């Protein structure tokens, strides 16, 4: 998936990623993976049954817990949606905290994100969420540990960025995000397909949110389904204070370097093209730890990246590097419906899930 300037060959991991995407979304071979997918599906079913039969106990917090996740690997837009949910809760006068695993961080333990943290210490998405929302963010392998820290910090509701499959934490509302353009791929579970759980899981969540336009068939009984869009028409300098923000349209008329280390880089590249830009695409693996050499393109063209990538590049950013923040939005009816469900959590006297 990644373009390497000055490298003679693509690393094996990236070759494997490209081949798997061809199988999952392009229908190219991979039939021999299906027995492994059946085994994975069985293991997931056994684990779910263990929680439903109360053989395994889930931690239940004394405050509402909202999970924003997905049933597929790769980027679907859950982090912008998590930020939207937090902003709605804040606007309603609540004190939300964010719990997440902190994928890609160095070390373990439980860490409450602080302004001085770097992405390597806490993860790129937690750092982005902390800066974007101003809400307390805690990272931990066990989400229950993060929830306890947030409760002690005075939070009256917790939003989990990812963790739909983390059944060790009880939840009061589940939102599953699906990529509108890629959908569920071949609808098979790992490694034969991109799914962590079978499509029938979408019947069990409270909301299915489809990110972006495109045809999507969800299993019958999946209700309700909302359509979300991500918008962003401003570019900001990666190095804070290096230059004023600029309309994205200012970069039209000549090529730009487009860098994306996210689950679905193609979505970012298409976003730039839709704004009238001509991106020279440089996809990187999700959560890639960027280094200055990754931007040694041998020219002075502007380099545009996602906000998630920018939090890892501030220490060495030069005048070429810009990022494009995006925000989630819904039509008024869908926004009101989701907002009402969030508010109803505070009217329930007893958590049942």
Cα separations (Å) of 71 from 98, 190, 337? 20, 11, 22
Instruction: Specify the DSSP class assigned to residue 72.
Output: B
Question: Alpha carbon of 146 to those of 13, 14, 54, 111, 194: distances in Å?
Answer: 31, 32, 22, 8, 28
Residue 12's pLDDT band, with cuts at 50, 70 and 90, is: low
Q: Is the pLDDT of residue 349 over 60?
A: no
Q: Which two tokens stand for residue 209?
A: 């949110």
Contact in structure between 192 and 22 (CB atoms under 8 Å): no
85 touches 75 (CB < 8 A): no
Cα(248)–Cα(126) distance, integer angstroms: 25
**What digits encode the pLDDT tens for the residues 229-254?**
999 999 999 987 778 899 999 999 99
Confidence of residue 28 (pLDDT cuts 50, 70, 90): confident
- Give the model's pLDDT for residue 17: 77
pLDDT (0 to 100) of residue 306: 97
How high is the pLDDT of residue 254? 92
* Euclidean distance between CA atoms 300 and 235, whole angstroms: 17
Asked if pLDDT for residue 71 goes beyond 60, the answer is: yes
The helix (run of H) or strand (run of E) holding residue 232 is none
* Predicted local distance difference test score (pLDDT) of residue 231: 95
H or E element, residue 50:
helix 34-52
Structure confidence at residue 351 as a pLDDT band (50, 70, 90): very low
Percent of the chain with pLDDT over 70: 92
Q: What is the pLDDT of residues 184-236, one digit of tens each?
A: 999 999 999 999 999 999 999 999 999 987 665 666 565 678 999 999 999 99
Q: Count CA within 13 A, CB hemisphere, residue 139.
A: 25
Question: CA nearest 6: which of 275, 349, 292, 296?
Answer: 296
Better pLDDT: 118 or 1: 118
Q: Residues 234, 331, 70, CA angle at the centre, nearest 5°? A: 80
pLDDT score for 7: 40
- The confidence band for 343, taking pLDDT boundaries of 50, 70 and 90, is very high
Q: Report yes or no: 103 and 253 within 8 Å, Cβ to Cβ.
A: no
What is d(CA 98, CA 130) in angstroms, rounded to the nearest whole number? 8
Would the pTM count as exceeding 0.75?
Answer: yes
Q: What is the mean pLDDT of residues 319-336?
A: 96
């Amino acid at each position: 998936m990644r373009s390497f300037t000055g490298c003679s060959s693509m690393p094996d991991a990236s070759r494997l990623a490209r081949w798997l995407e061809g199988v999952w979304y392009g229908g190219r071979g991979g039939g021999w993976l299906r027995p492994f997918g059946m085994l994975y599906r069985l293991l997931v079913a056994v684990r779910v049954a263990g929680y439903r039969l109360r053989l395994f106990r889930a931690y239940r917090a004394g405050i509402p817990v909202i999970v924003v996740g997905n049933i597929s690997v790769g980027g679907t837009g859950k982090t912008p949606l998590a930020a939207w949910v937090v902003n709605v809760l804040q606007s309603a006068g609540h004190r939300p905290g964010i719990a997440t695993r902190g994928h890609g961080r160095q070390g373990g333990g439980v860490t409450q994100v602080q302004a001085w943290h770097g992405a390597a210490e806490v993860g790129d998405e937690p750092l982005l969420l902390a800066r974007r929302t101003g809400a307390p963010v805690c990272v931990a392998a066990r989400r229950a540990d993060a929830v306890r820290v947030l409760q002690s910090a005075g939070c009256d509701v917790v939003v989990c960025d990812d963790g739909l499959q983390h059944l060790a934490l009880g939840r009061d509302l589940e939102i599953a995000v699906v990529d509108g353009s890629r959908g569920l791929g071949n609808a098979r579970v790992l490694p034969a397909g991109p799914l962590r759980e079978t499509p029938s899981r979408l019947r069990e969540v409270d909301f299915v949110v489809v990110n972006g336009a495109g045809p999507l068939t969800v299993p019958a009984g999946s209700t309700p389904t909302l359509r979300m869009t991500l918008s962003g028409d401003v570019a900001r300098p990666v190095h804070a204070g290096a230059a004023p923000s600029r309309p994205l349209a200012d970069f039209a008329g000549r090529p730009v370097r487009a860098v994306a280390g996210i689950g679905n880089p193609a979505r970012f590249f298409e976003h730039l093209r839709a704004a009238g830009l001509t991106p020279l695409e440089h996809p990187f693996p999700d959560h890639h730890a960027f280094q200055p050499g990754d931007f040694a393109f041998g020219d002075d063209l502007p380099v545009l990246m996602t906000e998630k990538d920018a939090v890892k590049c501030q220490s060495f950013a030069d005048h070429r590097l810009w990022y494009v923040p995006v925000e989630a939005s819904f039509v008024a009816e869908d926004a009101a419906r989701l907002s009402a469900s969030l508010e109803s959590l505070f009217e329930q006297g007893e958590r049942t899930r």
